[in-house]
Each structure stands twice: as structure tokens, then as C-alpha cells.
Amino acid sequence: MNNTGFDDWLDACVAQVQQALDTALPADNAAPARLHQAMRYAALGPGKRIRAALVYAAGEAALGSSAPNSAQTIALNHAAAAVELIHAYSLVHDDLPCMDDDTLRRGRPTVHVQYDEATAMLVGDALQALAFATLALAPVAPALVLQATQLLAHAAGSLGMVGGQAIDCASVGQALTRAQLEQMHQMKTGALLGASVLLGGVVTGAGSATRQALEAYAGAIGLAFQVADDILDVTASTATLGKTAGKDAAQHKPTYVSLLGLDVAQDLLRDLRSQAHTALRPLAGPARHLTQLADLIVDRGR
Ligand code: IPE
Ligand code: IPE
Ligand code: MG
Ligand code: MG
Ligand code: MG
């Protein structure tokens, strides 16, 4: 992949969403201070910010050759912060002893280890509420904010991420079919990644043809992201991941690697990359950062 310009663009996305998150989060001396310190610890930690980057890249693709106006720029920042807040909450709860029982996240102790379990649960609750409060402040037409809110709520809820996590919990030690595994992955991870892509389009006023292309792209990269995460759990080190490697096998989780083996899982990643690229064809040049993000997501797992 020729990364000329892409790495700088990605760094700028990270800086922009970090600023938006810092502004959205209550100060760490606001009462109750311990809760707010833990929320900031969870949300401002060194994540890759891929969901935020998808929001910005989809905004560019939807706007085509025009630059975003200042309201659209602010709306993209709010949408990017909102998806990263939902994601941060999902990680805090995913790591709890009653879920994956992890002690390391983003290279640091998980929230329940650094603070305590009750605080970690409340941090997740509060980050979720803050995500919607942040999205509601996007300065675009109320109809677009409403659509964006419905989209994010659907992706985060029992028909999306939370539903996928419920299936994950119920699937420990089970042999899922490929269709069941795909559904679990699309819900627990694909839904929020897909919402990130669509939110970038919605807040910039994308028309229906653009939304259709974004939806097709989102389906491919959403699944690819969790397939790559399954692969990395087997192939990468704890130091590289910033989370404990080898957890899926240790906890008897069904994954693409346990079901199909490493080689077939990697072949699937390549297929998903070409599906993502094909989906973007109608959007042409302005979708180049979406194309490069698909490559980044897939190349992590290869
Ligand atoms: C990890 O997501 C959880 C999954 C959905 C697989 P990321 O790999 O995006 O985590 P961060 O945000 O970079 O820490
Ligand atoms: C997490 O899947 C999906 C979420 C909704 C957080 P994993 O449990 O595989 O994520 P990691 O590997 O802990 O980051
Ligand atoms: Mg999990
Ligand atoms: Mg986990
Ligand atoms: Mg994982």
C-alpha cells in the first residue's frame, strides 16, 4: 500500500477526535471526581481511533469535491467522538470479570483493575449516555441529528453490539456454524464500525446512492475488523496488541481461526478487502481514505 499522505491524515484524525473527546468529557475534578477520572482514563487512552477515522473518511466520500463547511466539520467531530465513546464503553464492559475478564487494555490496566468493578460498570453507563449527548450537539439539520441518533442507537443496542456480546457470552465452548459466527461478529463489532461509516455520510447529508455504497463497504470492513482481531489474538504478542494475546483459545471462544483455521481466515480477509474496494467504486477519488482504511483493517490481520 502506498501510504503517502495517509499516515499524516490518520494522525490528524486521531488528534481531532482526541480534542473532541477531551472537550466532551467532564473535567477530572468535577464531582464525582473518581468516576470522571475513570471515564477520562477509559476514553482518552491510546486507542487506534479507527472508528473516528471511518467517520471522517465517509464524510469526505459523501462530500465529493467540496470541502466541509464549518458546521459539517464540527458535526463530524461530534459523530467521531460519539462512536469512540460507545466503543470505549463497550471495551470497559467487555473486560469485566463477568465478561472476558481481562486485565490489560491499550497497554494499561483495565478500568476495573485500575479503579474497581462498580466504577467500571458506571463508567460504561456514563460513557454511553455521553455519546448520545455529544451526537445531539452536532450543529446540522435536526432531521439529520435524529437519523444519526437512531443509527447509533441501533448499532449499539440489543440488535447490534450488545446483542452480539450476548451471543458471545452464550457461545463459550460452543461450536458455531459459519453463519452463526458471522452474525455474532457483524453484531458485536461490525454494527458499530458500520454505524461510524454511515454517520459520516448522514451528518454531511449524503444522498441515497452514496449511502448505499457506504452500507456495502461497511458490511465488508465491519466483518473484516473482527476476523482480523480473531487472527491477531493468535498471531500477535501482548506487547504489540496492548491487550493479552491468546485469550480466545484460553476462554474457549468460537472465532474465525478456531472454525476455519488461520489460512482460510486470512483468505477471507482478502476477499472482504476486495468487496470493500468494489463497494467504493461509485464514489471514486473522494473515497480514497475509506479504501486505505479497508487496507489498514485487513493488513493488520495478515
Ligand atoms: C477492539 O477494538 C475491540 C474489537 C471490537 C475487536 P480496537 O482494536 O479498535 O481497539 P482500540 O480502540 O484500538 O483500543
Ligand atoms: C469485543 O470483541 C467486541 C466488543 C464489543 C468490545 P473481543 O472481546 O474480541 O475484543 P478484545 O479482543 O477484547 O478487544
Ligand atoms: Mg469479548
Ligand atoms: Mg474481549
Ligand atoms: Mg478479540
* 3-state secondary structure labels for all residues of 67-122: CCCHHHHHHHHHHHHHHHHHHHHHHHHHCCCCCCCCCEECCEECHHHHCCHHHHHH
List the residue whose alpha carbon is closest to atom 12 of ligand 2. 229
Model confidence pLDDT, tens digit, residues 251-271:
999 999 999 999 999 999 999
pTM of the model: 0.98
Amino acid identity at 152: L
Check: CB of residue 54 under 8 Å from CB of residue 87.
no
- The verdict on the CB of residue 189 being under 6 Å from ligand 2 is yes
Model confidence pLDDT, tens digit, residues 97-150:
999 999 999 999 999 999 999 999 999 999 999 999 999 999 999 999 999 999
- Please list all protein residues whose beta carbon sits less than 5 angstroms from ligand 3, which is an ion: 94, 100
Least confident piece of the model among 2-11, 154-163, 245-254: 2-11
Can you give the pLDDT at residue 4? 67
Model confidence pLDDT, tens digit, residues 58-102:
999 999 989 999 999 999 999 999 999 999 999 999 999 999 999
Q: Which atom of ligand 1 is nearest to the CA of 106?
A: 14
User: Candidates 50, 84, 248: which one to mutate for ligand 1, based on the most atoms within 8 Å of Cβ?
Assistant: 50
The share of the chain scoring above pLDDT 90, in percent, equals 98
- Between the CA of 91 and the centroid of ligand 4 the distance, in Å, is 7
Model confidence pLDDT, tens digit, residues 179-207:
999 999 999 999 999 999 999 999 999 99
